[in-house]
Structure 1
Amino acid sequence: MEKLPKVALPTIIIAIVLIIVLAKSAITIGSGEAGVLYKTFGGGVVTDEAPLGEGFHIVAPWNKVFVYEVRQQEILEKMNVLSSNGLDIKLEASVWFQPDYANLGKLHQEKSEMYKERVLLPAIRSAARSVVGRYTPEQLYSSKRDAIQQEIFEETKKIVEDQYIQLNEVLVRDVTLPPTIKDAIERKLKQEQESLEYEFRLVTAAKEAEKQIIEAQGKADANRILSASLTDKILQDKGIEATIKLSESTNSKVIVIGSGDSGMPIILGNQ
């Protein structure tokens, strides 16, 4: 077996070391992610430069890269809160958020990778308790759901806006009341609905009666005007006009002039 040249062995060792260094220095940032660079001998977390974007990167082997998901994420939180009259309400909310990309280094330095547990969740719980405490169970159950959702979003956003977290939306998915309170509210709402329907029927009936009265009054007025306008002279003139037209007809007939009680013609004939 031939011996390796003296130069070959160091070359192989150097090549192996380079491969190890490259393997430890190479990092790939996935889709929807970004990297925060930590320089061991250069001041720690890099906060004054943009995060490492998607793709392949080479960093010094003694440095570290912390990878964050920077696309929109969702947290589903279930919590117990109190209404304005002290009743226990179960609230389920969905929070849409993402880290502030431009300040990802500061987020890592100040909040760490646990920023959701340390900042976001306490903020949403605090905002939900504050907002729900302003409303009664009936308002929470029916008319104020959208308003509550918007108020929780606004209050949570105020808390996290300087914490390098971008809050996109808060959705109230469910509000669960104590069964006895829920049943009482449903009965009340049903009674109110029935009352509104009854009032509507009364108003409709009153309008229909008013319509019939107006129509009857109109007919009575028309008849009175017509009766007042039909004098004996007008009736006689109309009778004469009718007699003339009948006399011009070829149908056989007998016309008796002035034989009626009022002096109007009486017409006799086969047609």
Structure 2
Amino acid sequence: MRTAAFALSFVFLAGCTQIDTGNVGVGRAFGVVSSEALPPGHYTTVFDSVDEITTKEVSFPVYDLNPKSKDNLTLKDLDVDVYYKTTPGMIPGLYIKYQGDYLQHSDIVENGNDVGVVGYNRVLRAAREATYTAVSKFNATTMHTQRPEIAAEIQKLLQAELDSSDKGAFTVTSINVRNLLTDPAIEAAIRDQVAADQEVIRKQKEVQIAQAEADRLRAQAQGEADANQILAASLTDRVMQLRMAEIQRDTIIQSAKAGNTIISGNVTPVITTGQ
């Protein structure tokens, strides 16, 4: 009796499945997949099974791509990282639709966990196509400065492609252009162009500095000219006053000599000097 109870307990415990937070479960009973996603919790799976599938953000790399640019040049290497999420309520339907496309996270990335990922190969194929299409819209010689724009274009195209077959099932959260290598000859041309651009910027800076110095000297010269003009006007008035004073002084001196009478304006002379 105890043996039977122990065996039953062992079977019961062995048939328990736990769904962690951030994941959902997809139940199967006698080969039939449940249409409802199971929320996090503990489930008894003696007569059926439950697969735990993540709803968290999943990332995976896409390596060794060789797309062509807008100017018809083939890139030597392009690597991107794709980040996406799966809508929890749509996971059972995706599980059925992509029955052969169910992997564990550890099968996708190094050091991944044992939680399931559904539709991975569907997203991977679409990501490759989106990358090739996106890169074809950019010139190879300027592509190294446009990584954010390329990533945004890949994300837009990938989201549109996934929505075309599974509307609302997948959300592309981010794209990272991690490695972008053009042909060595193009790399040399890019370096030459960067050097030329830097030389142009340096020359423009020199012109701006020279222009600013010229403006400063011009303003300084104008200020000095204005000051000289004001000073000249002031000095002219004072010189004239001084000259008049000197003339009056000389007149008085001459008038003060013997035999001369001092006359001031229209006043009748009142002083007569010696005979």
TM-score scaled by length of structure 2? 0.72
What displacement does 1:224 show? 2.7
Inter-partner Cα distance in structure 1 for 2:244 and 2:199: 64
Task: Report Cα offsets for 1:208-237 as digits up to 9, x if no partner.
Answer: 123213322332233133223323333369
Aligned 8 A contact 2:155 2:175 in 1: yes
Who is 1:214 aligned against? 219
Separation in 1, partners of 2:177, 2:245: 82
Residues 25, 37 of structure 2: 8 Å contact kept: no
Which residue of the other structure, out of 18, 28, 43, is the alignment partner of 2:18?
28
1:98 and 2:85 correspond = yes
| Equivalence map 1:193-232=2 (5 Å) | 193-229=198-234, 230-231=236-237, 232=239
Aligned to 1:63: 48
Structure 2 residue runs without a partner (length 5+) = 104-117, 251-275
1:168-212 deviations in Å (ceiling 9; x for gaps) = 211111211112211211111111211221122123213312321
Q: What letter is aligned with 1:29?
A: I
Query: Which structure 2 residues correspond to residues 1-271 of structure 1 after superposition, within 5 A?
Result: 11=1, 15=5, 18-19=8-9, 21-23=11-13, 25-40=15-30, 44-47=32-35, 49-53=36-40, 55-59=41-45, 61-78=46-63, 79-89=65-75, 90-112=77-99, 113-114=102-103, 115-142=118-145, 144-161=146-163, 162=166, 164-229=169-234, 230-231=236-237, 232-235=239-242
Query: 1-side partners of 2:244 and 2:55: how far apart?
Result: 100
Structure 2 CA distance for aligned equivalents of residues 196 and 71 of structure 1: 46
Q: 1:97-154: per-residue Cα shift (whole Å, max 9, x none)? A: 2322111111111113154443110111111111100111122111x22111111111
Specify the SS of the correspondent of 1:200. helix
Inter-partner Cα distance in structure 2 for 1:58 and 1:99: 25
Provide Cα deviations, 1:55-106, integer angstroms capped at 9, x if missing partner: 32113x3322122122222101112211112222222111112322111111
Q: In structure 1, give the amino acid aligned to 2:223.
A: G
- Gap change, CA 1:203 and 1:17, over 3 Å in 2: closer
Alpha carbon RMSD of aligned pairs, Å? 2.7
Cα 1:31–1:221 shift into 2, 3 Å:
closer
Return the alpha-carbon distance in structure 1 between the equivalents of residues 148 and 54 of structure 2: 30
Output the CA distance in 2 between the equivalents of 1:21 and 1:222: 106
| Percent of aligned pairs sharing the same letter | 23
Paired residues of 2:83 and 2:174 also in contact (CA < 8 A) = yes
Give the residue type in structure 1 aligned to 2:221: A
Answer yes or no: is the 8 Å Cα contact 2:78–2:181 preserved in 1: yes
Deviates more, 1:171-180 or 1:208-217: 208-217
Instruction: Give secondary structure in 1 for the equivalent of 2:189.
Output: helix
* SS in structure 1 at match of 2:175: strand
Counterparts in 2 of 1:210 and 1:19: CA distance versus 1, 3 Å: closer
Q: State how far apart, in whole Å, the 2-side matches of 1:83 and 1:15 are.
A: 69
Other structure's SS at 2:79 match: strand
Letter in 1 for 2:143: L
